Each structure stands twice: as C-alpha cells, then as structure tokens.
Amino acid sequence: MLKATYLTHTLRFKNPSGTSRGVLNTKETCFLILKEGDRWGIGECALLRGLSIDDRPDYEAKLKWTCDHIALGEIALYKALSEFPSIQFGVETAFKSFFAETPFELFPSEFTQGNTAMPINGLVWMGDPDFMKHQIEEKLEQGFNCIKMKIGAIDFASEIALLKSIRESFSSEEIEVRVDANGAFSPSEALEKLHLLAALQLHSIEQPIQQGQWQEMAKLCEVTPLPIALDEELIGIFSSEEKANLLNTVKPQYIILKPSLIGGFRGSDAWIELADKLNVGWWITSALESNIGLNAISQYTFTKNSKLPQGLGTGSLYTNNIAAPLEIKSGKLNYNSKKQWDTELFSEHLK
C-alpha cells in the first residue's frame, strides 16, 4: 500500500542573498516522500515565503491532507491542489520519481547520462557595489557568458555604473546581461530607466514594475527599448482563460517559468503552449529549491530544447544542500552520472 510522508528542511545560504524584497539568510522547504515496499519517490514542495501564492496559514495542513489522500493518485491530487502550486509540483515530481527506474532520473535524456550540458545564467545578488562587482568578476572567471543581475535595492546610478563596467570590458556578443528588477520601479519612472538600461545593450529586464498592473505593464511592453520578461506576474494565474488574457493584454517579449510557483510541469506546459502561439519567448528558472527540486526542473527543462540560457544555477547557494550530481562547469549545468546522491536527510522515511 502506497504511503506518503513529508519532511521539512531549512536551507542555509552561504552568503546573505539580497533581493528588492529583502535579504535572505534561510529558505524553508518540504520533501514529499512516497513509499511502497522497496520502491520510493521524492518531490519537493518549495514554498517561497512572501512570493508564493500558497504562502498561507493552512499550508502544512494541506501537506498533511495530501499525504493522507495519496491513494487518490497524481492527477486527482493535482486538480484538488489548484490553490497550492508548490504542492502540485511536489506531487508531480514525487510520483514521477516513484515510477522512474531510479528515483532521481525523472526524465532520462542525454543530460542525465552526462553527455550534454545546459547553458545557464550566472546569478549576481544585490548588495553594495563592491560586493556586486566581486560577484560579477567571479561569474566571468567561472566561464559564464550570460549573467543575470538583480537590481532595484541599491541606488540606480550605482547599478548603472556596475553594468557600464561590464560593457567596458565585454561586448554584448561576448557577455549577455539580463537584469531582474523584481518590480522595483514605479510606473512613472520605469520607461526612463528602461532607456538608460537599453543603452547598455542588455538582453532583457524581468518584472520592471510590480505585478498586477496589467495596463501599465502593457503600455511599457508596447514602447520599451529593452525586452521585458514577466516573472512574478504569472503567479496566481490559474485558469487557461486567465493565462491567455494576461498574455493577450500585456503582450510581453518573454515570460519566465518557475515550476514551484506556477503549478509544476503541467502549469509550465500550459504557459509554454500559449507563449509559442503568441510568439512570446520564454525560459525556465528555479526558485531557490534544494537540489531535489532543481534536479527535477533541470531534467524537465532539457526536454524542452530551448536554445536560451536557463536560470538553473541556484544549487550552490546553500551550506546544507543535498549532495547531488548537478555541477556547474564553464557556465553550464552538468549532470555527473558517476556522482551519487546523498539520501541521509530522509533515510528514516525510507525505512
């Protein structure tokens, strides 16, 4: 008989990680574990406090409910959890893991065999100018040719100066630069700032203004000199009608898919299908999951055959992540099939 349990785990950042919403020192997450006889599977319910639509008081009660009703099966549970996208993702990945040949190879491919790597962006966190400059230099030394820099927390002039320093050394052909404002600009100032950023030959900007201002965002997307990618804007949009309405109204240049925040693989597939019809570009990004969730997202992403660098470089952020075969080399994510997973953290749940 199939049984389900869950385990909570607090991930600790190696360095305080700054966003426009504040500085992160820890990140809590939950693992959903399925067990029947010798077979088992694991998925991650990666709630992101302050951002996930399912950051609500009854979250743990819903996790317990999910475990108690695991016999309903993946599809019925997924439908019942429509207001809890991070648990939907955990359910999807746990069942995929359970039925896989091995629990950590959810989407067998050239990637999981270690034959092909995926290009990813190097993430530069917010902080004082010296700290950000150090991170940029570090990413360039590590061989990244696509950098994503979070902006909106320090003064804009300092951020422009940092971006200029990159462009003084590297052309846009040598280094692709993406910026993520996390909604830090006001609608009245956004266009002026977009012009200043566009002069530095950036690839795109994520979420220049706060989510929920569809008409303001539509105006920006229509006249922007710099391609705009919707990120937080996708959170809490559940039905296919709402998804289509958002994309048809705003007409963004890109959307960014975070499976933990938008209903897992099914949610991501729905957005991709719509985006492709409307000629909207997209890429996939992790949302500070542990290596359990990152592994699932990475394997799924590889099957989508996107040519763009993906946002999957968060596995090395933590001091106590689960040791995994995921490795970053020369700006690419690799799966070292010779390296073993460490299952000690949840070994008691596998007995």
Q: Active-site residues: which are they? A: 150, 258
DSSP category for residue 209: B
Q: What is the Cα–Cα distance from 235 to 242, expressed in whole angstroms?
A: 11
Token couple for 274: 């719509």
User: How many CA atoms lie less than 13 Å away from 199 in the CB half-sphere?
Assistant: 8
Element (H, E) at 228: strand 228-230
User: With b meaning 16 or more CB within 10 Å and e meaning fewer, what string describes 222-243?
Assistant: eebebbbbbbbbbbbbeeeeeb
Residue 185: which of 214, 221, 210, 157 has the closest Cα? 210
Spatial contact of 337 and 108, defined as CB atoms under 8 Å apart: no
Residue 76: which of 86, 66, 90 has the closest Cα? 66
Q: How far is CA 344 from CA 222, 322, 337, in A?
A: 51, 9, 19
Q: What is the Cα–Cα distance from 138 to 141, expressed in whole angstroms?
A: 5
* Helix-then-strand count for the chain, H and E: 11, 13
Radius of gyration (C-alpha) of the chain in whole angstroms:
20
Q: How far is CA 63 from the centre of its chain?
A: 21
What sign does the CA torsion over 22, 225, 240, 148 have? negative
Q: What is the Cα–Cα distance from 146 to 172, expressed in whole angstroms?
A: 10
Residue 110 CB burial class (10 angstroms; 0-12, 13-18, ≥19): exposed
